[in-house]
Structure 1
Amino acid sequence: MRCPAALVAPLLVVALITGCSPAPEAEPSERASEPAPVSMPTSAETPVTPPPILTTVPQKFRALGTEPFWSAEVEGTRLTYTTPVTQEGATISIVRKDAGKRALYTGSIGGKPLELEIWRETCSDGMSDADYPFTVIRRIGPDTQRGCAR
């Protein structure tokens, strides 16, 4: 592409003052061709990586509460709930949902909804000098109790 002389002359003056020399015009075969279009990967081509699970709650633990006394042993998708009255325990299926650094287990026991919420926070059972690495809230229907777990 040739520039009109009115535009080229001032550029040559600037080039001479600054000590720059104009680059020679490229031959037609040396001229850059149009850049190739950039293709963006489609969602089918892009692997989707799930976000990391932030919770530190293990898949297996034992939770307990005092006054009233209760315990819950969790292993995967099963929870065994015991009290002084039901020492043999009731085993139910549960579903785990992680939310940040907490895990929420849900199921049903005795026709009532059961929720066991657990997170890493040092806990004392209030009866002994033992410290537990996890704090728990147990809900069965409207009854809510706090406890500890390891």
Structure 2
Amino acid sequence: MRLLTFAAVAAAPLLLLAACDQLTPAPAPAPDPAPPPPATTTVFGGLDLSQPFTVRGNEPFWAIAVTSATLDYSGVDRPQETAANPGPQVTPSVATFTVTTSLNHPLVVVLTVGPCSDGMSDTVYPLNATVIRPGETLTGCAGA
């Protein structure tokens, strides 16, 4: 009996080693997820187009409030129209927003760099604006 107990005790480490060889190593911990990319900003003519700004003109008076989410067009004797902001298409010389409004009208806002005066005040805006709507082309200025 003693010999059997001694044999079992002596064999135990060998059995443990054999069992360890068959174990699958634990998977490496997953790396931390990458941080989200920073919000993109598009500075054009000194104006950050990712921040709210206004495009405006007069004779006739009109305005487009641009936010990160929407373009809101309004004017004297004109219905209010809203469109989702898809972001601008930007080249070195032109930034363009192309949308379809809540009244299903196409609206194109073209911004070019250069000082712009609205002709009614002493305010000088950093961008010139051309707005193309069905049946008309409006000119004005854009700035914060």
Q: Identify whether the pair has TM-score above 0.5, normalized to the shorter chain.
A: yes
1:83 aligns with 2:75: yes
1:55 matched to 2:17: no
In the alignment, structure 1 segments of 5+ residues that lack a partner are 1-52
Moved more, 112-121 or 66-75: 112-121
Tell me how large the CA RMSD over aligned residues is. 2.1
Aligned equivalents of 1:61 and 1:54: distance in 2? 12
- Tell me if structure 1 keeps the 8 A contact 2:67–2:85: no
- Please point out which of 79, 89, 92 is paired with 2:83: 92
**Taking structure 1 as the reference length, what is the TM-score of the superposition?**
0.57
1:90–1:128 CA distance, 2 compared to 1 (3 A): same
Segments of 4+ moved more than 3 angstroms: 53-57
Query: What displacement does 1:132 show?
Result: 1.2
Indicate yes or no: 2:111 matched with 1:118: yes
| Inter-CA distance 135–55: structure 2 relative to 1 (3 Å threshold) | same
Question: 5+ residue gaps in structure 2?
Answer: 1-41
Q: Structure 1 or 2: larger helix share? A: 2
- The higher radius of gyration belongs to 1
Aligned residues: 97
Map Cα deviations across residues 90-112 of structure 1 (whole Å, 9 max, x no partner).
32113221122321001112322
